[in-house]
Amino acid sequence: MAGAVAALSVLLLAACGDNSASSATSEESGPAAAAGNQPDVNGDGKVVIGILSPGDTNDNGYYESFVASAKDFAAEQGWEVITQDKLNPADAVTAARNMCRQNVDLVAIGASELKDAIPVAAEPGCATTNWYVAAGQGVEQTPYIATSQDDANETLLAAGYAAGLLMQERGVTKAGYVTGPELDFAVIAYKAFVAGVRQVIPDAEVVATYTGDFDDSAKGQEAALAQINQGVGLLYPYLGGATDAAAKVATEHGVPSLTPGTDRCGDPSADFAISVIFSPGDYFAAALQDFAAGKLTMGETRVWHLGVDPVPTVKLCDGTPEQVAAVEEFITRIGSGEIVPADEVAKLS
């Protein structure tokens, strides 16, 4: 997994290392949290990256990509990486303070579930650290953090469109969506996915199951099997550590799946028909390059757009040439502004 993420990150850095205006916006400017120079912000002669993740960083997917990218880049630079994963959001503040006490130069938060830790960046105990946040729903930019974000409506609309093409080919009109807690970002992703599917099949049904846990494999399997028994012909396991378990059940029943964040086309463990690529590791890799060059600015957000930047993107694993061309055209139309994903989602109301 780490190798795949690293390969994609190399392409990303080559294409996007200049942080061009097309993919970067300054949401709020302010002083850096620390007065020291990057990357050795605290001036102790070494560089240490501290990562906080709410998910399993061995999930073969979204959460692992964040750590894999950091470790690959840190190894090249001779840096150290400290990781704390499977964090309960209720413990985010304490974990962030403890990370600062370990004299890290950069605190990196891997997902918006830990957004309650962000105010800690302004505390005296973290005065010699910089912060990077993989921003998502509800994350507010402050002068003490650098963030990256994308638009779930863009990526999930395209994912749904690609799924609709496969469903149409298979004569399927019912798809499934299995995720964890009923959090805002998971609901937003579901609605955009539905809107995308209905671009192709206007009367398609997409059933959603919220298991309450992104990483509980038993719950993921149970939800996937229940949906398959209800007749879904395509499954989106929008999960963390439970992704593979749910996808394996789908594969055993001849139902193709989509990935939640990473490129797993050709993965023998499950029939991933579509890779929906929005892994935070790709965005983090670009931020780390800026950090190494002393150019990661606190108080700024870099926004990544489908059809404009190399990631996020959607990839059909074994689609026909016509299907692949159709997905690429759809993505291009989103990137150009011809298709406005938020407007398409609003039509569901």
- Average pLDDT score over residue span 285-304: 95
* Stretch (H or E) spanning 205: strand 205-210
Whether residue 9 is predicted with pLDDT greater than 90 in this model: the reply is no
Closest CA to 104 of 87, 88, 81, 133: 81
Which pLDDT value is given to residue 19? Answer: 35
243/217 Cα distance (integer angstroms): 8
Instruction: Give the model confidence (pLDDT) of 320-330 as tens digits.
Output: 999 999 999 99
131 has which bridge partners? 107
Q: Output the furthest CA–CA distance in the chain (Å, rounded).
A: 62
Q: Which residues contact 14 (CB under 8 A, 6 or more apart)?
A: none
Q: CA geometry: angle at 262 spanning 256 and 266, to 5°?
A: 50
The amino acid at residue 290 is D
256 has which bridge partners? none
- For each of the domains in the chain, give its residue range(s) and CATH number, in order of start: 2-150+279-304 (3.40.50.2300), 152-278+310-346 (3.40.50.2300)
* Backbone angle region of 186, left / alpha / beta, with phi > 0 → left and psi within -120 to 50 → alpha: alpha
Q: What is the DSSP letter of 167?
A: H
Instruction: Give the model confidence (pLDDT) of 185-227 as tens digits.
Output: 999 999 999 999 999 999 999 999 999 999 999 999 999 999 9
DSSP-based three-state secondary structure for 32:
coil
Cα end-to-end distance, the chain, whole Å: 39
Closest CA to 187 of 156, 158, 218: 156
Mean pLDDT of the chain: 89
Q: Which residues contact 60 (CB under 8 A, 6 or more apart)?
A: 1, 243, 244, 262, 264, 269
* Backbone angle region of 14, left / alpha / beta, with phi > 0 → left and psi within -120 to 50 → alpha: alpha
289/271 Cα distance (integer angstroms): 34
* Backbone angle region of 245, left / alpha / beta, with phi > 0 → left and psi within -120 to 50 → alpha: alpha
More confident site: 48 or 270: 48
Torsion sign, CA atoms 104, 65, 293, 291: negative
